Amino acid sequence: MKFLPLIWAGIWRKPGRAVLTLLSVVNAFLLFGVLQGFASGLNHAVAETHADVLLTLSRISTEPLPVGQLDQIKRVQGVRATMPMVPVISTYRTPTQIVPAEAIDPAQVLAVDPGLTIPQAMIHALQRDRTGAIVSRVLANRFGWKVGDRVPLRALNVANRDGSPTWPVDIVGVFSSSGGTLFKNAMLINFDYVDQGRTTNGGTAPVFVVRIDDPHQAGPIAASIDKLFANSANETKTATVRQIAQNNLKQIGDIGLVINAIVAAVFFALLFLVGALMMQSVRERTPELAVLKTLGFTDGGLMGLILAESLTFCLVSAAIGLGLAAMLFPVARRLIGFNIQAGPLMLTGFALAIGLALISGLPPAIRAMRLQVVDALAGR
Amino acid sequence: MEALVGLKHVVKRYRRGRQVLEVLHNLDLEVAAGEFLALMGPSGSGKTTLLNLIGGLDRPTEGEVDVAGERIDQLSSGRLAAWRARHVGFVFQFYNLMPTLSAERNVELPLLLTSLSAAQRKQNVEAALALVGLTDWRKHKPNELSGGQQQRVAIARAIVADPTLLVCDEPTGDLDRETAEEVLGLLQQLNRGHGKTVIMVTHDPKAASFASRIVNLDKGALVPAPAMASI
Amino acid sequence: MNLIKQIWAVTAMNVRALPQRAGTSLVTVIGVATVIAVMVSLLAIGQGLLLSVGRNVRADDAVVLSSGTAASYMGSISRTAAAIIGDAPGVATDSAGRPMVSPEALVIVEVTKLNGDSANIGFAGVTPEGRVMNPSLHLIAGRRFRPAVRELIAGRSASGQYRNLKLGDHVTLRGTDWTVVGIFEDNGGQSENALIGDAETVMSAFGRGNFQMVNVRLQSPAAFTRFKDALTSNPQLSVEVRRTAEYTKEQLKPLTSIINFVGYFIGIVMAVGAAFGAVNTMYSAVDARVREIATLRAIGFGGTAVVVSVMVESLLLAIPGALLGVAIAWILFNGRAVSSLGLTFPLAVTPGLFELAIVWALAIGLIGGLAPSIRAANLPVATALRAT
């Protein structure tokens, strides 16, 4: 665009001020990118969950279920595979380093979780070694584990027979799983190891994983399973993994709403910032803008010029802010296993930038448009 | 010679709060093509107002303003802007260059409103800068140039689109004696050597002596004055 | 004193000129207000949580749990153990000379929210003697439950949020049927989100042979140590003894940590943006008055007075921003009930948060004023006097 040098010169008229405003806008878009990325990551995680995997829990969510129930569940029509699962939430070395370990049955784990990709050899290794563990690559990266390492897990909810909460395990494999699996960021250990070693709740598991043939039958099958144990001492509650993930999110509260409110507040303040400074810039440039009119720039032309400055400025700042946020996404994926869709986020971001530019740029642009050449040149 | 600029019965009134001021009273003036006209008068005499009318920056309250056969008093402000781009080059007392643009970018400004290609624009800018003798200074910003040099850049900007008229409002008001004479000499050269019609407002008789005709304005009306030796 | 007078004069002059620069001044005010509003609102969640859970908790309260349990409802304390606890040193006695202990059964039951979602709340079984421990708890409707009958009283909040918990309703909990015979309130404490029944009835209905916890009133906060030592050294008992106040806070720690982290993180990021805005405002303010400032310095006002006056002006803009921000947070969110992770509590914009807001605003104002004030003080006077 041939007017670009003029537009650029207008923006950088006072470099210090331009830089500061740029930083504020970059800051705002960075925050936007991070918050929205987080929200989108959460939604994506829910969307990735499988519809043909059900979880059966006790109706009283704190009580475990006897593993004897698994046989009955297996016989329900439409059920393909079942597996007990004991979450052994542990810490490693310091109380803030959490390791989500799950005690499972290696023989069944691939059958119940269609999204899980673990080589058979690794499964066999886990079966052969009672104290074995296979970890996801994300966890291995985070703690620097490799095959052969002995990891002392300090369980928060399961006590070992020897009275301590420590469960030592040996890493026998590291797996990578993209897509929806229950064990994306987890460590898999043997159910038998935990069940035989623990002091309370032997022979039970808080969760059963149930794989069904047809995801469309999830509702009726879940109802059938729960009917099996209705009015017994151990009533169950079965739902698809996706349903549960969504409920969990809902429990925390309306995160989307909170994020949108924060972003709205930030951009409101930003409107003021950019608007006030553009207005000031136009006021300072009254003589120069008047000269442009003498040269033949029309009123509309000057309005367009100011809007173009606003747009250029906001788009460039947004690009920087969003770019910085986007740089964090791969880090999030590596360290937390969080998948964030950058595309839609960028689009929303740029739409916001345009909105910001137009709204904050309009009053100054109108002022420039209305500028009376003769008065301005005379210094009035 | 054909009158390039013709003002007939021009009246200009302003509203200042509740008062109405009449700044120009029933003025008639003709400027021939190729003239170098100096408009003189004390401050408040209305000479800048007159200049603004001729340059198409303002419209008369009554009367006609005709430039190169066109009634510019009847043009809408949008058309007037386009007219200015093609027909007028302005030179101001305080140069009014864009402080953030280089000399050549400043000179290029009027050409942005045309449909010339980038290469053509560059050519015209170089020619204009050569004419005012500032080719070596084309990359400099105004704050790196002296007053006289800035005014010459302004002149280059004023002529780069080859306008019909060159309109100057106290062009040497802010310059020292020596530089003022250089600038006035340049204007004279543009007038005599390149046939440009120049209309200049000044309060300085020495500056007026560079013109081919002097007209005096006092309290909004022309005062007849002895013409200087013309071409 | 001369310096103070100078500062006063310059500042007064600047402040009087503020209305002329309303536009840019508003930038700082609005910027600060936004940061404060968002940050205080977020932190109000954590504060509300702490306050609500900490309500009714006294410094001389202690709680005894089975050792090694992860949660209060998983414990197992026998009646004999409860008696031993009642006899321990340091336990307060009531007017009749009985030890102030309240052994309780605690089970988690599933209830249905009004919108159909399921939720889990606590159902406590208390003994008749244990009543004296909780004088603030009183019925606002109906009557107390009778022993050996499956009757319960529901907390005000629970009654309002979940189905079948109104006075006179019948509700099925874990396969057993209960009648709601009363509604109680407890000074806004978390128990209002739970159910209370007779200990023996609850224990037999849900297959519990033992209590889950024992709440104890000590003779004084200082009595805690003797009390704790007596119990932990007793070989017949396998218990953990904690001050109730600490225990509650600790249970919440993961949640409050995250909330506060998020609040501060976002607050800091936004504050940085606001600080840039404030610096901008002050630079503009200085720029607009270059000639005045230079004139003052030519007259003889010292550089220090100029610096301080600019800083003061910046602070004067930041403080209304903070007040506005807190006001917004307060109007929008104070007292608003939030349900999260099974807890219900009102957001609390506390005086502590107000102080925090002021501090942050001052910080932003200081940062905003710093560079521009130095610039103002170092303007070359001669050139500045010629500026337009």
Residue, of C4 and C383, whose pLDDT is higher: C4
**Whole-number pLDDT of residue B229:** 47
Chain A, nearest residue to C275 by Cα: A24
Q: Output Rg (C-alpha) for chain B, integer angstroms.
A: 17
Question: Where residue C132 falls among pLDDT bands split at 50, 70, 90?
Answer: low
Option in A61, A156, A272 nearest C30 (CB): A272
Residue, of C386 and A111, whose pLDDT is higher: A111
Option in C42, C70, C109 nearest A157 (CB): C70
State whether A61 and C34 contact (CB < 8 Å).
no
Secondary element (H or E) of residue B215: strand B213-218
State whether B100 and A298 contact (CB < 8 Å).
no
Contact status of C280 with chain A (Cβ, < 8 Å): yes
Question: What is the identity of the amino acid at C179?
Answer: T
A206 neighbors A87 (Cβ within 8 angstroms): yes
State whether A276 and C273 contact (CB < 8 Å).
no
Report the C-alpha gap between C321 and C333 in whole angstroms. Answer: 18
The shortest C-alpha distance from B120 to chain A (Å) reads 13
**Whole-number pLDDT of residue A231:** 77
**Whole-number pLDDT of residue A201:** 80
ipTM above 0.95, yes or no: no
Provide, rounded to the nearest whole percent, the portion of chain C with pLDDT above 90: 10
Interface of A with C (CB under 8 A): 16-17, 20-21, 23-24, 27-28, 30-31, 35, 59-62, 156-157, 159, 231, 233, 235, 237, 247, 250-253, 258, 262, 265-266, 268-270, 272-273, 276-277, 279-280
- Mean local confidence (pLDDT), B53-63: 89
C11 neighbors C312 (Cβ within 8 angstroms): yes
Q: Which residues of B touch A291 (CB under 8 A)?
A: 90, 92, 96, 98
Question: Where residue B230 falls among pLDDT bands split at 50, 70, 90?
Answer: very low
Chain C, nearest residue to A230 by Cα: C175
| Averaged pLDDT of chain B | 88
Report the C-alpha gap between B61 and B23 in whole angstroms. Answer: 10
A187 neighbors A133 (Cβ within 8 angstroms): yes
Contact status of C26 with chain A (Cβ, < 8 Å): yes
Q: Is pLDDT of B221 > 90?
A: no
The shortest C-alpha distance from A148 to chain C (Å) reads 31
The shortest C-alpha distance from A316 to chain B (Å) reads 20
State whether A292 and B92 contact (CB < 8 Å).
no
Option in A12, A287, A296 nearest B81 (CB): A296
Beta bridge partners, A173, equal A134
Residue, of C272 and C71, whose pLDDT is higher: C272
User: Burial letters for C49-69: b for 16+ Cβ neighbours within 10 Å, e otherwise?
Assistant: bbbbbebbbeebbbbbbbeeb
Per-residue pLDDT tens digits of chain A, which is 380 residues long: 788 889 998 888 888 888 988 998 998 899 898 888 888 888 777 777 888 889 888 877 567 888 888 888 888 888 999 999 998 888 888 877 888 899 999 998 888 888 888 899 999 999 999 999 999 888 888 888 999 999 898 887 777 877 778 888 999 999 887 767 888 888 999 999 888 888 778 888 888 999 999 888 888 998 888 888 887 778 888 888 888 888 777 766 666 777 788 888 888 888 888 888 888 888 888 888 999 998 889 999 999 999 999 999 999 999 999 999 888 888 777 666 677 777 888 899 999 999 999 999 999 999 999 888 888 877 65
- Mean local confidence (pLDDT), C182-199: 86
Option in C175, C266, C284 nearest A235 (CB): C175
The shortest C-alpha distance from A162 to chain C (Å) reads 13
Which residues 253-312 in chain A show a CB within 8 A of chain B?
287-288, 290-301
**Whole-number pLDDT of residue A61:** 59
Secondary structure percentages of chain B, helix, strand, coil, to 5: 40, 30, 35
State whether A296 and B84 contact (CB < 8 Å).
yes
DSSP state of B164: S
**Whole-number pLDDT of residue A256:** 74
Q: Which of C271, C272, C28 is nearest to A277 (CA)?
A: C28
Q: Where are the beta strands (DSSP E) in C148-283?
A: 151-155, 170-173, 176-185, 195-198, 213-217, 239-243
**Whole-number pLDDT of residue C70:** 61
CA distances from A272 to A13, A259, A359, A361, C285 (A): 20, 20, 10, 10, 16
Report the C-alpha gap between A28 and A21 in whole angstroms. Answer: 11
What sign for the dihedral angle of Cα A89, A93, A97, A100?
negative
Chain B, nearest residue to A379 by Cα: B94
Chain C, nearest residue to A264 by Cα: C34
**Whole-number pLDDT of residue B121:** 92
- Mean local confidence (pLDDT), B112-124: 90
Strands C118-126 and C195-198: parallel
Chain C, nearest residue to A64 by Cα: C74
Q: Where are the beta strands (DSSP E) in A198-267?
A: 204-205, 207-212, 236-240
**Whole-number pLDDT of residue C110:** 82
Identify the residue among A157, A262, A279, A283 best suited for mutation to test binding to C, counting C beta carbons within 10 A and taking the highest: A262
Beta bridge partners, A102, equal A87, A188
Task: Dump pLDDT digits (tens) for B11-29.
Answer: 999 888 888 888 899 899 9
- Mean local confidence (pLDDT), C49-57: 78
Strands A65-66 and A150-155: unpaired
Option in C34, C68, C341 nearest A265 (CB): C34
Neighbours of A, requiring at least 3 CB pairs below 8 Å, are: B, C
State whether C31 and A157 contact (CB < 8 Å).
no
Option in A61, A250, A273 nearest C31 (CB): A273
**Whole-number pLDDT of residue A199:** 79
Q: Is pLDDT of C388 > 50?
A: no
* CB-CB neighbours of B75 under 10 Å: 17
Identify the residue among A1, A3, A298 best suited for mutation to test binding to B, counting B beta carbons within 10 A and taking the highest: A298
Report the C-alpha gap between B63 and C228 in whole angstroms. Answer: 106
Question: What is the identity of the amino acid at C99?
Answer: P
Report the C-alpha gap between A102 and A110 in whole angstroms. Answer: 14
pTM of the entire predicted model: 0.75
Interface of B with A (CB under 8 A): 48, 52, 55, 57-58, 77-78, 81-86, 88, 90, 92, 94, 96, 98-101, 105, 109-110, 112-113, 118, 121, 157
C354 neighbors C264 (Cβ within 8 angstroms): no
Phi then psi for C196, rounded to 5 degrees? -130, 140
Question: Where residue B135 falls among pLDDT bands split at 50, 70, 90?
Answer: very high
For B134, the token pair is 């500032």
Contacts with C138 (C-beta within 8 Å, 6 or more apart), sequence order: C184, C185, C186
Report the C-alpha gap between A304 and A301 in whole angstroms. Answer: 5
DSSP state of A198: B
**Apex C239 CA angle, C125 and C127, nearest 5:** 20
**Whole-number pLDDT of residue B35:** 92
Please report where in the chains the tokens 């390039």 appear, as a residue: B4
Q: Which of A326, A330, A289 is nearest to A309 (CA)?
A: A289
Report the C-alpha gap between B63 and B8 in whole angstroms. Answer: 6
For C345, the token pair is 């509590």
State whether A24 and C27 contact (CB < 8 Å).
no
Cβ pairs bridging A and C (under 8 Å)? 106
State whether A297 and B113 contact (CB < 8 Å).
yes
Report the C-alpha gap between A139 and A100 in whole angstroms. Answer: 9
For C180, the token pair is 């709601």
Secondary element (H or E) of residue A328: helix A299-336
Spell out the alpha helix ranges (H) of B118-204: 118-131, 147-159, 177-194
Q: Is pLDDT of B122 > 90?
A: yes
Option in C23, C108, C110 nearest A279 (CB): C23
Please report where in the chains the tokens 């985070």 appear, as a residue: A142
Q: Is pLDDT of C189 > 80?
A: no
